Amino acid sequence: MTRAEKIEKFLREEIKLRHIDLLDYINAENVNSFNDIYEQVEEQGGFNVDIIYYSQAMRYLTYRDISLQNSMQLAADLGYTPENINSELLASLLASQYSMEELYKYEHEITEFFDNLDNEEE
């Protein structure tokens, strides 16, 4: 099994993300670390989650941010003003942020995988 095949197998079987299928956004032949994976996903727009339709957005916000404090802060940080936001935008921003954080939860596991893979190849 090639290095790329081992990476793909690991990501497919061990890393379960809600909004992202990592293999849709990375080239396994060009990744050697967690940072490589993160950068490729980011460059390919993998963290950009679009939640469309009012009902889906409200459901997401009710579950994740009932007070809207986090999503409103994200919107403000990105330069949005109250006049140009809506529930779909807030839900999408929050889901995108959550996707980034979700991948970071696997940072240790991914780093350990690459360390072991490098040790096997030596």
Relative orientation angle of helices 3-14 and 107-121, to the nearest 10 degrees: 150
6-58 confidence digits (pLDDT tens): 999 999 999 988 878 999 999 999 999 999 999 999 999 999 999 999 999 99
Q: Where are the domains of the chain?
A: 1-47+106-122, 48-105
Q: In Å, how far are 76, 96, 99 from 105, measured between CA atoms?
A: 25, 15, 10
Give pTM, 2 decimals: 0.82
